[in-house]
Amino acid sequence: MLYSGNEHGPHARVRYQALIRTAIEDLAETPNRVGSSPQDELSEGLRSFHLTYVRKQATTVTGTVQRPRHVVFYRLADDQIIEIVRILHDAMEVRQHLTLELRGS
């Protein structure tokens, strides 16, 4: 959020915060929702969800994020609560950036 605020201004930061919050709330309600994908090849039970799928739902008074570029990696814990593993830019090498988090699973 610091990067968004510094590079694109405070309104962009507010829009991106709303986008991430909306995605997490939607995933908590429906973990296997349309747009989520299993990532079992990385770690059993891991799923991903691109923020593009909630873009229109996350409109704020300052507007909407036009081209979301981040993916939420998450899994459903035993108590049916979602665990956010990482949120990565969609251009990042997933395996490289998830290595430490997945090692602890």
Report the distance separating Cα 47 and Cα 12, nearest Å.
27
pLDDT reported for residue 71? 97
CA distance 53 to 31: 13
Name the residue range of residue 35's domain.
2-103
pLDDT value of position 102:
72
Residue 24, domain CATH: 3.30.2310.20
DSSP sequence for 46-80: EEEEEGGGGTGGG-BTTB--SS--EEEEEEE-TTS
Q: Is the pLDDT of residue 13 over 70?
A: yes
pLDDT of 26 over the 80 cut: yes
Q: pLDDT tens digits, residue range 55-101?
A: 888 888 888 888 999 999 999 988 889 999 999 999 998 988 887 66
User: Count of domains in the chain?
Assistant: 1
**Percent of the residues in the chain that have a pLDDT greater than 70, as a whole number:** 90
